[in-house]
Amino acid sequence: MTEVIMRRLLMPASIVASLSIAGLVGLNIVRDHQLTIADATADAVNLRNALVEQTRQTFATVDIALSGVAEAINTEDLGSNETYRALVVRQDAFEPTFAMFILNENGQIAATSRTPDPMPADFSAAEMFTTHSHNESLDVFIGSPRKGRVGFADDRWIVNVSRRLNHPDGRFAGIIAASISIDYLNDFYDALRRGEDGVVGISKDDGTVITRSPFKEDYIGRVLKNTQLFNSMLPSADAGVYQEQFVTDGVDRITAYSRVPDFPLVIYVGISASERLAPWRERSIIDGVMGFLAILLLGGFTYSAERRTADRQREQEVRVKQLTKLTEISTKLFKCADIDMALKLSTDMARELVPCNDAVIRMTKNQLTAKAITNVSSLEEPAVSGNFEENFDNNDILRNVITTDQPMDLKRAERATRIDGTGHGIAPNPRTGVKGMLSVPLSTNDGKKLGYIELSTRETGNFTAEDRALITDLAQMTELAVQRLTMANQLRDAAATAEQLRSEVQSVLTSIRDAVYALDSDWKFTFLNPQAEIFLERKAEDLIGRRVWDEFPEAAKTVLFTQYCKACLSNVDIDFRFYYAPLKRWFDVRAFPRAEGGLTVYFQDVSDGVAQEEKLRQAQKMEAVGQLTGGVAHDFNNLLTIIMGNAELLSDNLSDNPNLKKLADITVSAADRGAELTSRLLAFSRKQPLEPRVIDLGKLVLGMDDLLRRTMPENINFELVRAGGLWKTEIDPGQVESAILNLVLNARDAMPEGGCVTIEIVNASLDEDYVALEAGVQAGQYVLIDVTDTGHGIPKDKIGRVFEPFFTTKTVGKGSGLGLSMVYGFVKQSGGHIRVYSEEGEGTSFKLYFPRSFSLRNADADPHAAGSVLRGQETILVVEDDHLVRENVTSQLKFLGYRVYEASSGAEAIKITEHNQDIDLLFTDVVMPGGMSGRELAEIVTVLLPKIAVLFTSGYTENSIVHNGRLDPGVELLSKPYRREQLANKIRKVLDRNNKKG
C-alpha cells in the first residue's frame, strides 16, 4: 500500500522539486547579490577605519612633536642653537615631514630644522599665522594644501600643521609648524585603494580636499561643499556608509566615511559597485546553468526511482523479518543465566538467520574467559559435531580474522583454492570439504579478542553482504551478553577479594606516613591511602577500579612504566626516583610485586629536597669556576702589566721610527683588550674590588635613558618604569651601569624581528619562605631591577648555564660569553641576588636584587681624574716577587722622575726600610710568597715609618685588603694590569693625600 502511494506521489513530487530548485537558484542569486554588496561595504568600512587610525596617528605624532619643541624652547630667543637642535631631533624622528619651523610674533621665519641660519622670509599673511595670532584658544591648526616654495618641499604638495607659541606671561610669541608631505599620505592611500575605480581621500571638515587616490592635481584644494557627503551625511553622523554615483566620473560607489578623532579632518573610501558585482554576475550564470542541469537529473532520477521502488519493497520485507528475529534473539540472550547457554543460543540462531551446514563459536584462551569454549550447531551427527577442536596454527584465514578484528568471507571457488576441508580444524574425524565460509570476530569494547563466529557451506550460493551484516549484528549481541555475564562473575569475585584485602591491609596502610596505592594485574587501582590522595590530587573513590595508565597517561611515557613492568616480570622489589611533569613533583618510589599479581607501591614527595640539592650543586659549581677564573686572571694580569708597561716605554722611545712605534701601540691596544677580559673574569669570580656609593638606582638608570634608547633599533620599543619612594642601595655605580647595559644589549640581540625591552625599578622584600629555596640569599629589603624582553627566550636545557664563563647562545664572533658571568659575579659580590626567568617564544626576564642601604655616606669626587701624566721626585719602595713585573714598574717610576728602591719579598723590604728613612711611599704587591702578605708588610713598615704612604697592587684581590668586595677603609689599590698614566696618577694621588695629612 505504501509503495503504491509512493509511486503516485513521485511525479508530483518531482515537479515540486524542480520548481523548488528553480526558486532556490533564484533566491541564491539574490542572496549572493546582497552578500556581495555587504562584503564590499565591510571592506570599505575596514579600510576607512585603518585610514582614520593611520591619519590620526600621523597628525597626532606631528602635534606631539610640535608640543614637545614648544615646551622645550625659550620663546624669548626663538633663533637659538638649542631651538634649531630641538627642531632637528623631532624632524629626523618623523619621516612624513619636510621641515619643522618657527615664525616669530611678526610672522618672520625664526628657526627651521633644515638649516641653523634660515634666510629671511615673511609669512605674516599666511593662513596659519593669522589664524593663531587672532585665536588664543586654538590648539592645533591644519592649513589648506599648497605647493612648497623653498628647500626640499619646493614645488611639492604639502599641508602645514601648526601650534601657537606664547611667552610665559601669555603674550603671543609666534607659531611652530611642520610641513607634511602630501606624497607620503597619497602613497599610503594608493596601497589601500581597492580596484581600478576605487577612490580614497582626505579633506578638511570644511570640504577642502587635501589629497585623494588616484591622485589628480586639480582636485587638491577643491572644496566639496555641494556633495552628498558634506550636505547630508556628515551633518547627521560623524561616520557612516552610503552609495551614490559620483558626479566627477559617473562611477557608482559604495562609500564609507568618518571624521578623524581630535582633528578637523574627514576620511572617505569609495569602492566601485560595478567591479564588486562582476564576479556575482559570473556566479549567477553558473548557478542558472547548474539549476537547469539539476532539474534534468531529477527527471532521470524520478524515472529510475520508480523502477527501484519495487525491488526495495521486496528487500525491506525480508529485512523486517530478520530484524524481528534479531530482536527476539536479543531478548533471549538477555535472559541467559550463564555463558554456555548464551553461546549455544547464538550458534542455533546463526543457522536460522543464514541457512548453512555449520555454525561454530570459538572463544580464545586467556582473554575474558578462563577457558576455551566451543559451541557447535550442525546438520551432521552429534558425535562428529562434538569433536570440533581449535586448530588455530593451521588456519591462516581464522588467524587473520582474530588479528585484524574484521569479518571475512570466502566464496566456494576461493575456499577450494586456499584450504582443503581437512584444514578446517576438525579432529579426529575429517569432514567433507567446506564450500564457502563466513567468519565474524567477537571482541569487547576495549578491543580484547573473545573469539569468532564461523558459518560454513551456505545452503544456496555464496555468503552475501546481507549475511555478513546479519551475523555481525548477532556477534555484537553475543559480545554484549558474554561481557555482561563475565562482568557479573568478575564483580562477584572482585567483591569477595576486595573485602578480604581491605580488612587485611587498610588499617595498616591508612596510618603510615608514606603514600601507598595498590594495583592489580590489569594495572587497576585497588587501594589508595589518604596520603596518596594528597600526592596524586585525586580521591580514592575516583580511581578505584580504573587503570593507572588511563587516569595518568603521561606516566606511561616515563620511567614509572618500565620500572613497574620490570618489577612485575622479575618479581623483584624496585626502588627509583622519577619526575612527574603534570604534577611538577619528584617522587621516591618503592614497588613490591604481589603474589596474586599486581603491585603495592610506596612513594614519597621529595621535590623540595631535589630542588635544594640542585641549587647547592649549581652554587658549588659556580664557586669552583669562579676560583679557577680568578686564579687565571691573577697570573694573566702580571703578564699584561709587563707587556703593557714595556710596550708604552717602546712607544715613547720609538717616536723617530713610525713603523716600530705603530707595532708598540698595537701591543698596548691588545694588552688593553686582555685587561678587559681579565676584568670580566675577576668580576665573575667576585675578586674585583668595588667602589660602592650610596645611590638612588632610579636616578642612575634614568640618567642612562638616552644611552639605552640609542642602542635600540627602530623595531624595538624601550620602556623605563620607576616606582615612587625607591630605597637607597650601596653599590658600585660604574659596575651596575655596565651590568644594565649588558642585559639590555643581550635583550636587543634576542629580538632581531623587533619587540619590547622594559626596565622596571621597584622596592622588593624577600621573605624566609623564598630564601629557604635559594642558596646564599638573605631575607630582607632589596631594590629590584627587572630587565625584561619579548625575544625568542632561552631553551630550558641551557638556562642553567647562562652565568657560566664563556657560555653563550650567540653565533661565533657575536659574544665572548663573559657578559652574564660579569653581571652574576658583580651582583653576588655586592651582596645581592639574581634570578632569570624565560619561556621559549615568549621572552626573558633578569631580576637583580640589591640590598637596601640605610647609610647616608657617599664617595668624594676623585681630584686626580684621567688626563696628563703626573710626575714627582719622591722616593718609592717597590715590593714585587715577580722580577719582570718589578723591573717594569721600576723603569716606569724612574721615567716619571721618582727615586726607587726595589725588594722581591717582605723581609727584604723591611731591611731596606730600616736603613733608609727617606722613603715616601710603599708600593707593594698584595700576594707574595714567603708567608708575608702585602698587608702584613704595610703594617710593619708603617710602624717603622709612621708618615709613609702605602699603595697596594694586585691582579687578584684577597681578603687581606678587600672584604665583601670592598676595599677596607683607608686602603688604596692599583689593580693590575695598569697603564703608565694610571700608575702615575694613582701614585700622585696617594702621595698628595698623605702630604695633606702630614
Q: Are 253 and 269 in contact (CB under 8 A)?
A: no
Q: What confidence score (pLDDT) does residue 716 get?
A: 92
Q: What value does the mean pLDDT take over residues 892-919?
A: 90
pLDDT in tens, 382-392: 433 444 444 44
Topology given in CATH for the domain delimited by 336-490: Beta-Lactamase (3.30.450)
CATH 3.30.565.10 for domain 692-851? yes
Q: Are 51 and 200 in contact (CB under 8 A)?
A: yes
Q: What confidence score (pLDDT) does residue 383 get?
A: 38
Q: Smallest Cα–Cα separation from 241: which of 36, 40, 53, 57?
A: 40
Domain chopping of the chain, boundaries: 1-196+270-312, 336-490, 512-605, 692-851, 875-997
Q: Which residue has the cell 562477584?
A: 492
pLDDT band at 865 (very low <50, low <70, confident <90, very high): very low
pLDDT in tens, 673-727: 666 556 555 544 444 556 688 899 989 988 888 888 888 898 999 999 888 889 9
Q: Choose the weakest-confidence range: 564-578, 585-599, 685-699, 962-976.
A: 962-976
Q: What confidence score (pLDDT) does residue 920 get?
A: 93
Q: Are 675 and 689 in contact (CB under 8 A)?
A: no
pLDDT in tens, 310-336: 666 666 767 777 778 778 887 887 778
pLDDT band at 764 (very low <50, low <70, confident <90, very high): very high
Q: 875-997 in CATH: which number?
A: 3.40.50.2300
Asked if pLDDT for residue 398 goes beyond 80, the answer is: no
Q: What confidence score (pLDDT) does residue 421 get?
A: 41
For 684, the grid coordinates are: 665573575
* Mean pLDDT rounded to a whole number for the chain: 78
pLDDT band at 855 (very low <50, low <70, confident <90, very high): confident
The whole-model pTM stands at 0.33
pLDDT band at 278 (very low <50, low <70, confident <90, very high): confident
Q: Do domains 1-196+270-312 and 512-605 have the same CATH topology?
A: yes
What architecture (CATH level 2) is domain 512-605? Answer: 2-Layer Sandwich (3.30)
Q: Smallest Cα–Cα separation from 73: which of 59, 60, 88?
A: 88
For 702, the grid coordinates are: 634614568
Q: Choose the weakest-confidence range: 87-91, 195-199, 493-497, 571-575.
A: 493-497
Bridge partners, 103 (sequence order): 109, 175
Q: What confidence score (pLDDT) does residue 74 get?
A: 87
Topology given in CATH for the domain delimited by 1-196+270-312: Beta-Lactamase (3.30.450)
For residue 457, give every residue at least 6 positions away whose Cβ sits within 8 Å of its Cβ, in sequence order, or none: 356, 357, 358, 434, 435, 436, 437
pLDDT in tens, 340-354: 888 888 888 888 888
Q: Are 441 and 402 in contact (CB under 8 A)?
A: yes
Q: What is the dihedral of CA 955, 957, 960, 964, to 10 degrees?
A: 170
Q: What value does the mean pLDDT take over residues 518-529?
A: 89
Asked if pLDDT for residue 590 goes beyond 70, the answer is: yes
Q: What confidence score (pLDDT) does residue 757 get?
A: 93
Backbone angles phi, psi at 29, to 5 degrees: -65, -45
